[in-house]
Structure 1
Amino acid sequence: MEDGFSDSPPTRLNILTLNCWGLKYLAKHRNARLTAIGARIAAYNPPPDIVGLQECWTQDDYESIRRQTNAILPYCKFYYSGIFGGGLAILSRWPIEESSMMRYSLNGRPTAFFRGDWFVGKGVACATLRVGTGQNDFVEVFNTHLHAPYEREPNDSYICHRTAQAWEIAKLMRAAAGRGRLVIALGDFNMIPLSLAHRIITTHAPVQDAWRVLHPDSPVGAAVDDIEAFRNPPIPTAEFNLQRNGATCDSVLNTWRWNKGQQRRLARGFDVTVDVSTADPHAKRLDYIFVGSGGPSAIPEVSERGAWTVESVRVGMTERHPELRCSLSDHFSVEATIARQSPSLKDVPRNLEQPRTEKPKPPSYDEILRMTSLYKARERHQRHLRLSHFAIQLLITIACLVAIWWSPHNYVSFLLMLVSSLGLTAGVIDGLIGGLFVGSELRALKEFEWEILNARKIADAAEDGEGEA
C-alpha cells in the first residue's frame, strides 16, 4: 500500500450519496443530525469507498463528518461556490489528484431569494481519484445537486434550468468516459426516472442509472402522480418503496415528512413509529448513482481487466437519530456496489462497458427546443417589464423632486423624498436584474440552444447515413 492505493486498482467499489439537509439556521437539529450522519458512515461494514454529500453547507459540519470518517475516507474535498456555498463534498478512500467546481450556466433567478438556488451557485463538484499506480488508474467522480422543482413537470417554471444542467453534467461524463475512465455521477438530481433530464443523462452520456440496471420495472414517479396513473399500480408500502422502488424522498418513514401532529409528539419525547407495511403514496426517487465507462477502452491495460457491473443497489440511512428519534435527513441515501468482472464475462447484460447501441432520438431534441423557446419568450417579457419599471420609476422620482419645490410643508417634502428614494431603489434593482441578469441568462440559453441544434443535426445526419447504407 502506497499513498492510499495499491499497485492493483480495486475490483469492487462501494458508493454512497446523501442529501444531508444541512441548511444553516433553517434545518432543525442540523449539528446533531450531521454528526450522526458522520458516525453512521464511519460504522458501515464494508465501508464506502466514495461518498458524495449534498446540502452540507457549513464548514463545521463538513469537518465533523471528515473527522469521524477519516480512518476509512482520508481524502476529502469541500467545494466552494456562489454566495452561500454549493453544499457539495466528496469523500474518498483514494487520493484526489484533480478537483474543480463547475457552476451551471443556468441556475435559478436572483429574484427568487426565498428559494436560494441562484445564491448557492449550484454546479458539479468534480474529482479525479487515483486508484492505482497504472497510467490510467483513475475514477472520475461528479457530485451535483440540480435545481429544485417547485411545480410538477411539465409546468415547472425551472424545468429549462434543470434540463440545461443535466445537459452540462452529461457532457462532463461523456468527456471523462472518452478518456477511458470509470465515471461515477451521484447526487440529488431533483428529477424522476425517465423525465427529460433523466433521459438526457442516460442517452447523451455513456452511463446507466444503477437502480434501473437492477430494477428496470421500478416506477417513474410517486404512486399518486399523473405519470403513474396509466399503469394503475397498487399503492406501494413503505417497505416496497425502499426495497424495490428506490424511493429516497417523501417517504412516510421519514420523520421530516410527517404531519405537524406527529412531529410535535416526537418533539415531546414520544417514540412515534410507522410500520413498514404502511401505504406510501407520495414517496419518489430523486437521488441517483450513475455509472459507466463508455465502451471498451482503447487502453489495453484497462480493457484486459474486465468490465464493471452493478452488483447491488439499495436505499440506506433510514435509521433515526439515537436520541432525537428524528430521521438523519429529509432524504434517504442511495448506496451501490459495482464490481469488475473478468474479461471472459464482459458481455453479460449488466456490463457497464458495453458499447451503447441506443442513440439519442431527434424528438427529444425537439422537446428541448420547444421548452427553450417558450422559456426565452417568457424571459424577454420579464426583461421588458423590469426595464419598464425602472424607466417609469425614474420618471416618478423626477416628478417627486420637482413637486418638492412647491411643497407647502416639510413633512410633505419628506414623504415625497422617501417615496421617490424607495421607489428608485426598487426600480434600479429591477433594471439591473432585467438588463444584466436576464441578458446573461438569455445568452446562456442561446449557447444551450445552439448545442441542442448541433446535436440534432449530427443525429439526423447519422440516421440519414444509416438509411442510405
Structure 2
Amino acid sequence: MTVTENNQKDDTMSIDIKVLTLNVWGIPGISKNREARIEAIANQLITGPEEYDFVFLQEVWSRADYYFLATKVNKVLPFAHYFINGFIGSGVCIFSRSPITEVHFHKFTLNGFPHKLQHGDWWGGKGVAVCRSTRHGIPFTIATTHLHAEYNKKNDEYVHHRVVQAFETSQLIRFCQRNGDVLILAGDFNCTPTDFAYRMIKFYGNLIDTYTDSPVKTPGSSGETNETPANSFTSVKTLKENPSGNRIDYIFYHASASHKVKTKVCDQPWPNRVPQQDFSFSDHEPVRAILTVTPVKEDDSTETVTEVQAQTDALLESSAVCEQGLKKVAVSRKLYLFLAILLTILELVYLAVLSLDLSPGLRIALGILSLVAMAALMYFLLMGTVFYHMEYNGVKSTKLALKCHLEILTKKNAQIEERKRSLSFIK
C-alpha cells in the first residue's frame, strides 16, 4: 500500500518496505554480456513497476560498473555505498532511497586461497557489508554478504571456510540487533536451506527467511535462484544433474523492540530475459521481498526452547565441520612441508651435480629445472608455513568461539526449562 508522509507519522500505521537482492555476475572479461546486462539491470531498477527502498547487489567486481549503476539509478535510489576491500574489491554494494548514515565492513577471516586463481574468492576480499538508514521514521540496519562458492559438491575443499564465514556473519548480525533497528540481511549465501551455513545464519542469527515467511511466492517455483532451467546462462549439463536449480540467494529480517515485521511477498519479479535480448539479467535470479513493518508498544519477544535448540544444533554441526577442517588443514600443511623438504634435497643434489663435467646443453636444462624447482619450493614453503597456518588459526578461533556460545546456550536452555517447571508448579 502507499503511505503518505502524514500517515507515516501515525505510529499505528503499517508501511511496506520493498527490497531486492541480486548477484549481477559482473566479472570483467569473463562474465558474458556483462556491460549490456549491467545497463539492463539499471534500467529495470529505474523503469520497473517497483520502487525499491533498498537494493543489495553482489559481484559488482568493476568499479566502473558500480559508478555507472549509481549514476543511472540516482533519481530513484540516490544513496549508495560500494564496499572496497581486498585486491579487486568485495563486489558488494547497497543502494537506498533514504540517506545512509553509517557504514561498516567486516572482512572474513578465511576466504579461499590466493593461488586458486580460477576461483578468485581470496582476491575479492569478501565479508559482510553493513549500513544504517532511516526510512519513514523507522531505523534500519541493512546488510549484504557473499559467502565462498561451492565449486565441487562431491569434494568441497572450502566447507570449513564457509563455517567461519557463516559464524562471523551470524555474530555480526547478533551484535547489530542490539541497536534496536529493524534488520535486513540479503545476498548470495552460496548454500541451500539444507546446508549447515544456512542454519547457522538463520537460527543463530535469529533471522526470518522471507521466502518461508511469505504467503505469496513465484508461481511454479520453489524459490530456486541459481542454475535455474529458465536462465539463459544455465548449461545443459548442469540441468541434467540438477533440473530445478538451487535456492542460494536470500532476504532475511529481524524485527525490533518497537516494530514487528511480516513478509507480504517474496518472489522473483523480473522477466527471464533482458527485454529484446536472448540472455538473462544474470546467472542468478533477483529476489524481491515486500515487508510490512508495524509499530508495537512493547517488546513481547522471548526465545523458546525450540529456538534455542535450533541454535544449538546449528552450532554443534558447525563445530563438527570445524573439527574436520582442522584435520584436513593439518594434513595439507604436512604435505606441503614434505614437498618443500623434498625439493630442498633435490636442489642440494643439483648443486652437487654442477661440479661434474656436463655438456652446455645439459647444464642449461638443469638450470631451468632448478629455477622451476626453486619457484615451487617458495610456493610450498608459503603454503606450509603461512597460508595454511592462517587457515588453521581461523578455523581454530571459530571452533573456540562456537564452544563458548554452546556453553551459553546450554545454560539458557536450562533456565527456560526451569521457568517452565516453575510456572507449571504455580498453576
The bucket for the TM-score relative to the shorter chain is 0.7 to 0.9
- In 1, are the aligned partners of 2:56 and 2:187 still within 8 Å (CA)? yes
* Residues in 1 aligned to 2:225 and 2:188: alpha-carbon distance in whole angstroms: 10
Query: Deviation per CA, 1:17-75, whole angstroms, max 9, x where unpaired?
Result: 00101111001111011111100011133310100001111011112211221001001
Choose the corresponding residue for 1:464, options 408, 414, 419: 414
Q: CA deviation at 1:342?
A: 5.0
Q: Determine the structure 2 residue equivalent to 1:339.
A: 292
SS at match of 2:113: coil
Q: Determine the structure 2 residue equivalent to 1:172.
A: 172
SS at match of 1:197: helix
Q: CA deviation at 1:215?
A: 5.6
Query: Deviation per CA, 1:293-349, whole angstroms, max 9, x where unpaired?
Result: 35xx2xxxxx2xx422212111133342234321111111000111222538x99xx
- 1:74 maps onto 2:27 in alignment: no
Q: CA deviation at 1:285?
A: 0.9
Matched to 1:122, the amino acid is: K
Choose the corresponding residue for 1:256, options 233, 255, 271: 233
SS at match of 1:108: coil
Q: Determine the structure 1 residue equivalent to 2:425.
A: none
Q: Determine the structure 2 residue equivalent to 1:272.
A: none
Evaluate the alpha carbon distance shift between residue 377 and residue 196 of structure 1 in structure 2; reply closer, same or farther with a 3 A threshold: same
Structural mapping, 1:29-48, within 5 Å = 29-48=33-52
Query: Deviation per CA, 1:82-138, whole angstroms, max 9, x where unpaired?
Result: 2222111111111111112211112112232211111111111111123367xxx53
Gaps of 5+ in 1: 219-237, 261-279, 298-302, 348-352
* Residues in 2 aligned to 1:181 and 1:439: alpha-carbon distance in whole angstroms: 38
Q: CA deviation at 1:163?
A: 2.1
Q: CA RMSD in A?
A: 2.6
* Residues in 1 aligned to 2:340 and 2:156: alpha-carbon distance in whole angstroms: 28
Choose the corresponding residue for 2:94, options 90, 95, 100: 90
TM-score, normalisation: structure 2: 0.88
Q: Determine the structure 2 residue equivalent to 1:283.
A: 245
- In 1, are the aligned partners of 2:163 and 2:321 still within 8 Å (CA)? no
Moved runs in structure 1, 4+ residues, more than 6 A?
none
Q: CA deviation at 1:187?
A: 0.4
* Residues in 2 aligned to 1:317 and 1:156: alpha-carbon distance in whole angstroms: 32
* Residues in 2 aligned to 1:215 and 1:402: alpha-carbon distance in whole angstroms: 76
Gaps of 5+ in 2: 422-427
- In 2, are the aligned partners of 1:206 and 1:356 still within 8 Å (CA)? no
Matched to 2:334, the amino acid is: H
* Residues in 1 aligned to 2:416 and 2:303: alpha-carbon distance in whole angstroms: 16
Q: Determine the structure 2 residue equivalent to 1:229.
A: none
Q: CA deviation at 1:354?
A: 4.1
Q: Determine the structure 1 residue equivalent to 2:205.
A: 205
SS at match of 2:308: coil
Structural mapping, 1:169-248, within 5 Å = 169-214=169-214, 239-241=219-221, 245-248=222-225
- In 2, are the aligned partners of 1:203 and 1:360 still within 8 Å (CA)? no
Q: CA deviation at 1:466?
A: 4.2
Evaluate the alpha carbon distance shift between residue 354 and residue 391 of structure 1 in structure 2; reply closer, same or farther with a 3 A threshold: same
SS at match of 1:341: strand
Evaluate the alpha carbon distance shift between residue 363 and residue 207 of structure 1 in structure 2; reply closer, same or farther with a 3 A threshold: closer
- 1:410 maps onto 2:360 in alignment: yes
* Residues in 1 aligned to 2:103 and 2:144: alpha-carbon distance in whole angstroms: 11
SS at match of 1:313: strand
- In 2, are the aligned partners of 1:310 and 1:337 still within 8 Å (CA)? yes
- In 2, are the aligned partners of 1:314 and 1:335 still within 8 Å (CA)? yes
Q: Determine the structure 2 residue equivalent to 1:15.
A: 19
Farther off after superposition, 106-115 or 431-440: 106-115
Evaluate the alpha carbon distance shift between residue 97 and residue 407 of structure 1 in structure 2; reply closer, same or farther with a 3 A threshold: farther
SS at match of 1:240: coil
- In 2, are the aligned partners of 1:54 and 1:87 still within 8 Å (CA)? yes
TM-score, normalisation: structure 1: 0.80
Q: Determine the structure 2 residue equivalent to 1:300.
A: none
SS at match of 1:310: strand
Q: CA deviation at 1:202?
A: 1.7
Structural mapping, 1:101-116, within 5 Å = 101-116=105-120
Matched to 1:138, the amino acid is: P
Identity among equivalent pairs (%): 27
Q: Determine the structure 2 residue equivalent to 1:270.
A: none
Q: Determine the structure 2 residue equivalent to 1:451.
A: 401
* Residues in 1 aligned to 2:185 and 2:214: alpha-carbon distance in whole angstroms: 17
Q: Determine the structure 2 residue equivalent to 1:152.
A: 153
Structural mapping, 1:287-366, within 5 Å = 287-293=249-255, 297=257, 303=258, 306-341=259-294, 343=296, 354-357=301-304, 358-361=307-310, 362-366=312-316
* Residues in 2 aligned to 1:312 and 1:393: alpha-carbon distance in whole angstroms: 60
